[in-house]
Amino acid sequence: MAKSAKSFFRALYFPVSFVVVLWIMHIYKITFLDGYPSLGIYPRETFGLQGILTAPLSHGDFEHLISNSVPLLGSLFIIFLFYKRVAFLSFFLIYLLTGAAVWLFGREVFHIGASGVVYGLISFIFWSGVFRRNIKSIILSLVVVILYSGLLYGVLPTEDGISWESHLFGAIVGMFVAYLLRKLIEQDEVTRDPWIDEDDRENYYLGRDAFDFTKAEREQIRRNQNLDLDA
């Protein structure tokens, strides 16, 4: 199998696995927990702290689960394919910090669902293009703008029953994590500046100092170098 194909399927492994876990947890919840949102975050209450870990795994119904599964799969795949070095770190930081922010500042209701993580991942991809400023990251930033621009309104309290705080804090956390990890660049983001390597003259038809001396001075330098070699 070609190297690119291996990278493609390897980048799919964790996103698909995580989405499968979401579906398994949802089936477990509706089967054994009778729909009670005990897995959610309840802000500023100690019993709600567990939700920082479990809330993204809990969804209200299958429609809610599907609406999060698709963008979650897409955004995770982009990160694990193009930001391999920081993929796991960025995911876990977004996962935990978004939940912590909702627990600290959210409304006193149960907050469930992976939408906060989705907003964090999409925000991370977008702001990585802003902070890293290389061609790849900028293109990916434009891609998420095109694909997920409709999610922008989700950070506003426009609809009852929606944890807009999770969306808002997820977007803020994604920006913060993108800034925090901006210097952990990928191998394909490293650009070689030919002017840095002073000893690499074979790539130039003329020497780097070709116009620093007159023709007579260059001849004299060559004669001196030949004398040094003969000595």
- Kindly calculate the radius of gyration of the chain based on its CA atoms and give it in whole angstroms: 26
Query: What pLDDT is recorded for position 133?
Result: 87
pTM of structure:
0.79
Query: What pLDDT is recorded for position 228?
Result: 54
Query: What pLDDT is recorded for position 95?
Result: 98
Query: What pLDDT is recorded for position 210?
Result: 57
d(CA 180, CA 195): 29
d(CA 8, CA 140): 16
Low-confidence spans in the chain with pLDDT less than 50 = 192-202, 204
pLDDT in tens, 170-228: 999 999 999 999 999 888 776 544 444 444 444 545 555 555 567 676 777 777 666 55
Query: What pLDDT is recorded for position 196?
Result: 44
Q: Where are the beta strands (DSSP E) in 36-192?
A: none
Query: What pLDDT is recorded for position 2?
Result: 63
